[in-house]
Amino acid sequence: MVLASDVIARYEAFCPKELTMEGDVVGLQIGTLDKNIKRVMVTLDVRENVVAEAVANKVDLIITKHAPIFKGIKDLVSSPQRDILLDLVKHDIAVYVSHTNIDVVPGGLNDWFCELLEIHEAEVLSPIATGYGLGRVGTIAEQRFENFALKVKAVFGLDSVRLISYDKENPVISRVAICGGSGDEFYQQALAKGADVYVTGDIYYHTAQEMLTEGLLGIDPGHHIEVLFIEKIAELLRHWTLENHWGIEVLGASSNTNPFYHL
């Protein structure tokens, strides 16, 4: 048996809470780490289907990227939204959140994106400290914009990607910036670092126009590409389990939490 606190201590050695962006929510949100655990589940989001999956699998600890409690709540009266939290408490499932700290850490989520997309010689897009920061920018083999967009679609298993380009321009590109989640606010850093195209989710209409005016193309694959968090963190936890003889089972959530699809 191993304490949840031991597992989280090893996680935080890799991904320190001190790297969290100001105003972000990171750390234990529900339950306690002062208990023995047998099963850990990794998920991108904590929604009703994820909680049902965790309960069915007798999970003791959930590690999630997106916090189930982000805005203030005034009560815990039963309702569709509150029942997500109430069920976690009822079944003694602790919830630990790792958000921007996994984005900024070397060898974290944005570096994993670069590996998948074959973005080489990557540097930090928006630094927060020496060697740490949000997003990455690097080089790719020269190719047409639309060909790279199709690669993004294929790598992340998407049904579509939104392209930001007036008149369907399809130039040759060789330098790409990427930021998981919603990163359109960092497009000027992408420009400053010489990017031809910026890949990030939830790009706002007027921001897209500003990007094009300043000479930057864009690819919006959606926020949900961060689901890569599940596979990669589960892989790390399994490695640490063998290394430390924890004897726990690590599960990756299989429930779909992407609220969008395209016809």
Q: What is the pLDDT of residues 172-185, one digit of tens each?
A: 999 999 999 999 99
DSSP H stretches of helix in the chain: 4-14, 48-56, 82-90, 100-104, 109-117, 145-155, 187-192, 205-213, 228-244
CA-based nearest residue to 177, from 123, 252, 131: 123
pLDDT at 181 (0 to 100)? 95
Tell me: do 77 and 126 sit in the same domain. Answer: no
Q: Quickly state the pLDDT bin for 71 (edges 50, 70, 90).
A: confident
Residue range(s) defining the domain that contains residue 144 = 106-221
- Residues 211-248 have pLDDT tens digits of 999 999 999 999 999 999 999 999 999 999 999 999 99
User: What is the Cα–Cα distance from 61 to 52, expressed in whole angstroms?
Assistant: 14
* C-alpha separations of 12 from 16, 70, 101 in Å: 4, 21, 9
Structure-block tokens of residue 6: 């031991």
The gap from C-alpha 124 to its chain's centroid, in whole angstroms, comes to 16
Tell me: do 110 and 20 sit in the same domain. Answer: no
Tell me: do 182 and 162 sit in the same domain. Answer: yes
Tell me the average pLDDT across 123-143.
Answer: 96
User: What is the Cα–Cα distance from 256 to 259, expressed in whole angstroms?
Assistant: 8
Within-domain flag for 257: no
Within-domain flag for 32: yes
Tell me: do 111 and 200 sit in the same domain. Answer: yes
Within-domain flag for 192: yes
Within-domain flag for 112: yes
User: 73: domain CATH number?
Assistant: 3.40.1390.30
Tell me: do 42 and 90 sit in the same domain. Answer: yes
Tell me: do 84 and 124 sit in the same domain. Answer: no
Tell me the average pLDDT across 27-56.
Answer: 98
Q: How many CB atoms lie within 10 A of CB 120?
A: 12
Q: Quickly state the pLDDT bin for 55 (edges 50, 70, 90).
A: very high
Tell me: do 112 and 215 sit in the same domain. Answer: yes
Look at the chain and report how many structural domains it folds into: 2
Of 131 and 176, which is predicted with more confidence?
Answer: 176
Radius of gyration of the chain, Cα coordinates, nearest whole angstrom: 19
